[in-house]
Amino acid sequence: MFPPTRIRSCLPVINPLFKQRLRPHRPFRQTSTIYNAQTKNVATQLQKTKWMNFRAIFTRWMPLGSVMYVGWCYIRASINYEVSKVEIRFYEMFPFRITSRLWGRLAACELPVSLRGLVYGAYSMMFNVNIEDAAVTDLTYYKSLSAFFTRPLKDGARYISPAPCVSPCDGVVLNCGPADTDKIEQVKGVTYSLEEFLGENKWSKKKGSNYYQSLLQNKENILHQCIIYLAPGDYHRFHTPCDWTATFRRHFCGKLLSVNPWLAQLIPGLFTMNERAVYVGEWKHGFFSMTAVGATNVGSIEIYNDPELRTNTKGKRTRINEHELGQIELKKGELFGQFNMGSTIILLFEAPKDFKFDMAAGERVLVGQSLTAAVKQQAR
């Protein structure tokens, strides 16, 4: 008599008609153990290779390290931890310019119509997007995430105040008030250098005793500032805050660090490190400047009246690019430019000492909202 295992192995040969119905022959237990051990060894080697090769540094370790470090920074911000210079240098070493360009390409990819409602709807719920203010409320109209980020507003969605200076964008005020020294407060208790932020004064014919005085046209005035942070769910276009004349542009090819408010509390001089486009000119009180600051995943800054501006470019870059604009007349409320995601707008302007803001740090503002309390009371 043949053993049962030998009979089962011969059945497909004896009768091919039963080949599809019968289960395949199981190997002997000893062979199965060896096979499983070899399979586990191969799987372990492949797993080690995925995490140990050069490609894994960019695809696995760096994203994982970035998430862990940003999370740790968030925890330290809640306990008022002071960041050391070594930690700041380490944070700057991450390739945010490369990741921002990759994100830009991904956001510009056209999505299938069937997925647009799902993707944009989830994004709107996550970042509290008010789609009712958009010119087109149909989510399937936007071909890509980039088009959805830079969506225009419908007519009448924002009221432009008759005040001489209004908010240029939707966002949250990080800081506003007088800037009467060379060290300006970016958030409470954290400052940045005025000269490092604007660069050398090449637009003024009158030179003062110091950098601060060289900016003022009327020595009885002082500088005032307003910093507005645009969150990912905000309206990403920004407008002209007042009637002024732009004469000079300076582009700093800096870092692309995050400008999130809690991170701005950790890194002094954050705005002097990041890539930014500084536009300088005059308004009725004298010196006026409007700066668009880039951030992580926001390397692309577009200015409608300055098509020569190129931000977050590849290859060899000039640290500072300067351009004489001539005399560009800008009217209050007209479109000035756009970000491809949330970032920051900084206004630095000359005004009388009694100039008062009608807002405080932490408040939310909309395009066209009055910046001054006195004018608001007069308008009533």
Catalytic status, residue 25: no
Which is the catalytic residue, given 100, 146, 167, 170?
170
Which is the catalytic residue, given 239, 251, 258, 300?
239
Catalytic status, residue 180: no
> Do 176 and 361 touch, CB atoms closer than 8 A?
yes
> Do 180 and 216 touch, CB atoms closer than 8 A?
no
Neighbouring C-beta atoms of residue 119, cutoff 10 Å: 16
Catalytic status, residue 161: no
Cβ contacts of residue 200 below 8 Å, gap of 6+?
none
Helices (H) and strands (E) in the chain, counts: 13, 13
Calculate the alpha carbon distances from 238 to 26, 135, 326, 344, 361 in Å. Answer: 70, 16, 22, 10, 19
Which is the catalytic residue, given 258, 289, 343, 370?
343
- Distance of alpha carbon 38 from alpha carbon 33, whole angstroms: 9
Identity of the residue numbered 269? G
| Terminal alpha carbon distance of the chain | 109
Longest dimension (CA), the chain: 116
Q: Which residue numbers are catalytic?
A: 170, 239, 343
